[in-house]
Amino acid sequence: MTCIVGIAQKGKIWMGADTCISFDTSFISLDDPKVFIKGDMICGVAGPLNFKQNIQYNTDLYCGLDEIQDIKAHIAMEIFPAIKELDGFREAELLIGYEDKLYEIFNNVFVCSATKNYASIGSGSDYALGCLHNTRDCKDPEYRILRALESAEQFCQGVKRPFNVLCM
């Protein structure tokens, strides 16, 4: 239960997330953000916390990005095979921002690049995507991300404040 939102705009990647984790019928705020910067990538993880921590602290996944010509191929052929073996992968989704593109890794084994300059994953993503579409003419990406997360929070019980937003 979460919502991760990303926007690629003017050579930067913005990404935000809620801080809620759920256990059965209980919800608590997480002090470990679901979005983080790792080298030249910005990442957001929807899924088990142990999977997120493995992705965040496993430096091998981010080696050699300076030499990559095709980042989508690198994600599909190098990063994806490594992370699918991690505990919690089957329940997780990953949003990666690199240079000026967003890439989604879905737990049903495929990688895709976002067709718009925005993307969202997690249980609140449908609500966030609707809001991102409706604010597409707004020039402030942080404002758009916060509105998208608020929309997800309004309609999805597993999305809760506070929200974290990063830019790189």
Name 150's Cβ contacts closer than 8 Å, sequence gap at least 6: 131
Residue 57, pLDDT score: 87
Mapping DSSP onto H, E and C, the string for the chain reads CCCEEEEEECCEEEEEECCEEEECCEEEECCCCCEEEECCEEEEEECCHHHHHHHHHCHHHHCCHHHCCCHHHHHHHHHHHHHCCCCCHHHCEEEEEECCEEEEEECCCEEEECCCCEEEECCCHHHHHHHHHHCCCCCCHHHHHHHHHHHHHHHCCCCCCCCEEEEC
Q: How many domains does the chain have?
A: 1
Per-residue pLDDT of the chain (168 residues; tens, 9 = 90+): 799 999 999 999 999 999 998 877 888 888 889 999 988 899 999 999 889 998 888 766 666 666 777 888 888 888 888 888 888 888 899 999 998 999 999 876 678 899 899 999 999 999 999 999 999 999 999 999 999 999 999 999 999 999 999 999
Q: What are phi and psi of 124, to 5 degrees?
A: -95, 10
Residue 2, pLDDT score: 93
What CATH number is associated with residue 8? 3.60.20.10
Residue 66, pLDDT score: 67
Residues spanned by the domain of 101? 4-167
Residue recorded with tokens 């991300």: 145
